[in-house]
Amino acid sequence: MRTDAPEVLHLRAAGVSLVLDLSGGTLPRVLHWGADLGPLGTDLLADLRTAGRPAPRGFAVDGEVDVAVLPEHSAGWVGTPGLVGSRAGRDWSTSFRTTSVDVRGTGPGADHVADHDARGAGGVVTVQAVDDAAGLALALHLELTPQGLVRQRATLTNTADDAYEVGGITLTLPVPARAVELLDLGGHWARERTPLRTAFTHGARVRENRRGRTGYDAAFVLVAGTADLGHRRGEGWGVHVAWSGNHRSLAERSHHHEGLLGGGELLLPGEVRLRRGDAYTSPWVYGLYAREGLDDLAGRVHAWLRARPQHPRRPRPVTLNTWEAVYFDHDLGTLTALADTAAQVGVERFVLDDGWFGSRRDDTSGLGDWTVSRDVWPDGLHPLVRHVTGLGMEFGLWVEPEMVNLDSDLARAHPDWLLRLPSRLPRPARQQHVLDLARPEAFAHVLGQLDALLTEHDIAYLKWDHNRDLVDAGHGEHGVPGVHEQTLAAYRLVDALRARHPGVEIESCSSGGARVDLEILQRTDRVWASDCIDALERQQIQPWTNLLVPLEMIGAHIGSGTAHSTGRAHTLGFRAGTALFGHLGIEWDLREADADQRAELAAWVALYKDVRPLLHTGVSVHADVPDPAVRVHGVVAQDGSDALFAIVTTAMSAQLPADRVPLPGLDPDAVYHVRPQAPGDVVTHGLACPWWTPTGLRLPGRVLAEVGVRAPVLSSERLVLVRATRV
């Protein structure tokens, strides 16, 4: 480890600066997180080191109070502590002393400040610290990625003889006073990721998730922004806790501090007890800076995800899922006929959903018995798999490995394998319970069954579901809280299965979109954004999921004419145009579609195959449109040469004729040929504007973003596509 680190370290990448104060032997403090400052001069450095430090009068302690990335009560910080824990009431307040600092990926600097070169790619800082009196050691890992993301996590080790119970670790980043609003997300089943805006005032806004999975109503991304924060304007600072179990997000401001954002795992009582030498590692907490609106923030995350070696890069296959087509009614003749029709419209992957295994004829039995039902499939799945692959499609399968029905061979044989308290079973949810994967024998059993399935069958894809919250989730004979260990075990299960079958892709599904976070995305290729396929609801769910997840990883399906979840009816153009902006799929009994509908669907599938290289590598953009009934979103190629936009009406506009709409994100100095894109060029029950012809119009990107174009007059719940190509 290096111990000659500078007192101040300046990391720079992608227009972002992270300035760390490493002086004084205490834990690191962030002097600046935000826009790139350029090379630090002596005057700026001195100002940063004194800015925001409160005068001693009226404060908790005399002298200056520095708030570290892990805030400590002993430093005089009387807000939310960074570490909560004790030894039965002892050693509850820490005072860590830095013993070494390792700095990697940074350029040369002056004696007192290491300044990363502006062309560099961020850097990594590892700080080792101890509190000998408390018997604790701490390793802090801070990173500025080449895309401008800040990542933090901490590892706490018990160095004393007595056990230490960890109550939680919260890692923080500061935000300036001009961040006056908070944006986070809430929601429920079938309406995930609903935006919530509140004032950022004195006190703490704490979003806690105790569902045992990421949750429909998780904060997802908690953003502190300027008053004008929108998709393409305003400055914002966001935080995301990358954890698929219980977690907490925090925004806190006091009269003595401009503000903090932070987060970490939410630990239940007694969930993590460290014996001597044991360690607890917190989840990654991501800091997301936006110089020019939420699209800027999202673009950094998308670029980071796409740079990973495991990111899915081959064209995302058009996927048909059988759930809303047949539900539990599995029959070889029905499914082969559906596969034939799917292949005719251009489907590339056929996924058999729930109902293929054990006694699973409805949702009351069979979970946990991951063997093919001989009652429904007397010859096994092989005839269907051969038929599907013979049509040139991949075969996929639904599983829910973390769950069990009481009416199952597994639960009858091993009732002690359930997450439960010794005195009672948890109340059932969807007629099911949670299998305790932290038990080695339960873990090995499930891994063995899934491994056998993938070894025997030509399966390219697993839809991995998780259909209930973890309530009364006790582990072991004493029923201690088991959510933390269950989350880690679920990660290990996915990792082990992928190690044995590296070619198999996995979708994270959890009653729809209840397990979507950056940690589950480290080991999956797709998320199911919502069980609601209603295109009107998806016009909100998908863009806000896109705040964190790039389009190629968001499952978006074309449902039947009447949405099963809401009963709403939409045109095929509205349904398909909505699903186009994601990883396209179909969830519809195509045997019921007439020839015209199949032809139109095939045209949309063909368009998707044509534009998916653009949609799945380009930059997502969302316009700030004053009219609440109109939305404009799209994707612009990385080099600005091509773009596809959707103009959407979600209600009847109060403005008639419709106002002009911007087409954001284009090269301001280039000229673009703008025209309607078939098959999304049909204006039904409305009026086309004069330029709505293949000839279109030619305008500079700056004009298209600032002045916009006249949109067709569309009735409620309609969508049209606009293509813009640089000339």
Nearest to 388 by CA among 462, 335, 318, 328: 335
Is residue 495 flagged as an active site residue? no
Tokens of 454: 């993938």
Amino acid at 361: R
Give CA angle at 522 (520, 528), nearest 5°. 45
The CA R_g of the chain, rounded to the nearest whole Å, is 27
Task: Judge contact between 640 and 649, C-beta under 8 A.
Answer: no
**Active-site position among 66, 91, 217, 465:** 465
Task: Judge contact between 626 and 659, C-beta under 8 A.
Answer: yes
Tokens of 260: 């903090």
Is residue 596 flagged as an active site residue? no
Residue 184 assigned to a binding site: no
Burial of 309 (C-beta count, 10 Å sphere; 0-12/13-18/19+): exposed
Sign of CA dihedral 364, 365, 368, 373: negative
For residue 165, the SS3 value is strand
Interatomic CA distance for residues 564 and 559, integer angstroms: 8
Residue 588 assigned to a binding site: no
For the chain, how many residues are written? 727
Interatomic CA distance for residues 703 and 726, integer angstroms: 14
Task: Judge contact between 213 and 510, C-beta under 8 A.
Answer: yes
Residue 158 assigned to a binding site: no
Burial of 197 (C-beta count, 10 Å sphere; 0-12/13-18/19+): exposed
Write down the number of H helices and E strands in the chain: 12, 41
Tokens of 448: 């063995």
Residue 329 assigned to a binding site: no
Q: Are strands 619-622 and 709-710 parallel, antiparallel or unpaired?
A: unpaired
The pair phi, psi for residue 540, each rounded to 5°, is -100, -45
Residue 604 assigned to a binding site: no
Tracing tokens 């890692």 back to the chain, one arrives at 171
Residue 467 assigned to a binding site: yes
Q: Which residues contact 290 (CB under 8 A, 6 or more apart)?
A: 223, 225, 229, 234, 235, 236, 237, 238, 296, 297, 300
Tracing tokens 């201690």 back to the chain, one arrives at 480
Tracing tokens 């308290």 back to the chain, one arrives at 421
**Active-site position among 469, 531, 642, 667:** 531
Tracing tokens 């319970």 back to the chain, one arrives at 433
Residue 330 assigned to a binding site: no
Amino acid at 402: E
Buried b (16+ CB within 10 A) or exposed e, 581-601: bbbbbbbbbbeebeeeeeebb
Q: Which residues contact 197 (CB under 8 A, 6 or more apart)?
A: 181, 182, 183
Interatomic CA distance for residues 236 and 723, integer angstroms: 30
Buried b (16+ CB within 10 A) or exposed e, 281-293: ebbbbbbbbbbbb
Residue 544 assigned to a binding site: no
Residue 132 assigned to a binding site: no
Interatomic CA distance for residues 470 and 130, integer angstroms: 35
Interatomic CA distance for residues 255 and 265, integer angstroms: 27
Interatomic CA distance for residues 714 and 262, integer angstroms: 43
For residue 332, the SS3 value is helix
The pair phi, psi for residue 360, each rounded to 5°, is -80, 80
Active site residues: 465, 531
Q: Which residues are annotated as a binding site for substrate?
A: 189, 353-354, 430, 463-467, 509, 531
List the binding residues. Answer: 189, 353-354, 430, 463-467, 509, 531
